[in-house]
């Protein structure tokens, strides 16, 4: 009882009041310090967010500028291609026109023939079982374009010189044609129709030569 009374008297005196005020002050200080730290953390996070937004704006601006540059490059390439095609078309139209065949000579006009153009040739080949005509034609076609890899061939490989011999009644060669620089423009390997067993399979080809020579 003496101890409890002493503590009560001690707390109820001036010293107790000071202790209570000090405890309250310490509590207020820590509460204020916590508020300050929370506000500082909030300000830091806000600045970080603002910096991230600013960096994102800069990245978006750079991407937008890059897209504009790419669009401009594509537009310039398109314009260049259109201008080039227009010029080439104009040259081809002039070379094919009647004006290109006229030559001014003093007070006269002289004429030249213009460009010589060889047309396509239609060939029909018999496709025996052995050797395979279809295999031979397909090997030539693959020199133009390889369908498996998508690779286009070089003209030095797929352009061929062909020799046509015209035979007489007894099998003798009466004339010979040399087809220079021939390439395949179309190939038809025939209809595999088993309804007519007595009909041979034929391969039809269309070739475009550079020019032809009649040897004899």
Residue 5 has pLDDT above 50, yes or no: no
pLDDT given for residue 85 in this prediction: 67
pLDDT given for residue 16 in this prediction: 58
Give residue-wise pLDDT tens across range 135-158: 889 999 999 998 888 899 999 999
CA–CA separation, 61 vs 74, rounded Å?
A: 20
Estimate the crossing angle of helix 2-12 against helix 14-96, to 10 degrees: 60
pLDDT given for residue 26 in this prediction: 67
CB atoms within 10 A of CB 69: 10
Give residue-wise pLDDT tens across range 172-205: 888 999 999 999 999 998 777 766 666 677 888 8
Average pLDDT, the chain: 77
Average pLDDT over residues 55-64: 85
Integer angstrom CA distances of residue 203 from 69, 158, 178, 193: 53, 19, 21, 14
212: Cβ–Cβ under 8 A, 6 or more apart, which residues?
Answer: 118, 177, 178, 179, 180
Question: Quick one: which of 114, 120, 116, 115 has its CA closest to 179?
Answer: 120
Integer angstrom CA distances of residue 18 from 3, 9, 13, 21, 22: 21, 14, 9, 5, 6
Give residue-wise pLDDT tens across range 16-43: 565 666 666 666 666 666 666 667 777 7
pLDDT given for residue 186 in this prediction: 92
CA–CA separation, 111 vs 99, rounded Å?
A: 9
Question: Quick one: which of 138, 207, 198, 139 has its CA closest to 177?
Answer: 207
pLDDT given for residue 144 in this prediction: 93
């Amino acid at each position: 009882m003496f101890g409890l009374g002493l503590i009560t008297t001690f707390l109820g005196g001036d010293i107790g009041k000071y202790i209570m005020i000090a405890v309250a002050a310490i509590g207020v200080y820590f509460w204020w310090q916590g508020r300050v730290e929370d506000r500082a953390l909030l300000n830091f996070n806000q600045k970080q967010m603002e910096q991230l937004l600013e960096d994102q704006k800069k990245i978006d601006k750079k991407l937008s500028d890059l897209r504009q540059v790419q669009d401009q490059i594509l537009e310039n390439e398109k314009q260049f291609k259109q201008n080039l095609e227009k010029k080439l078309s104009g040259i081809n139209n002039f070379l094919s026109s009647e004006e290109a065949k006229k030559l001014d000579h003093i007070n006269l006009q002289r004429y030249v023939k213009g460009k010589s153009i060889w047309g396509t040739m239609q060939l029909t080949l018999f496709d025996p079982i052995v050797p395979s005509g279809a295999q031979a034609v397909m090997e030539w076609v693959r020199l133009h374009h390889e369908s498996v890899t998508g690779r286009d061939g070089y003209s030095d490989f797929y352009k061929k010189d062909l020799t046509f011999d015209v035979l007489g009644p007894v099998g003798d060669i009466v004339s010979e044609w040399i087809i220079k620089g021939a390439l395949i423009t179309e190939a038809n390997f025939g209809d595999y129709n088993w309804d007519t067993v007595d009909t041979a399979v034929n391969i039809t080809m269309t070739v475009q030569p550079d020019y032809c020579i009649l040897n004899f």
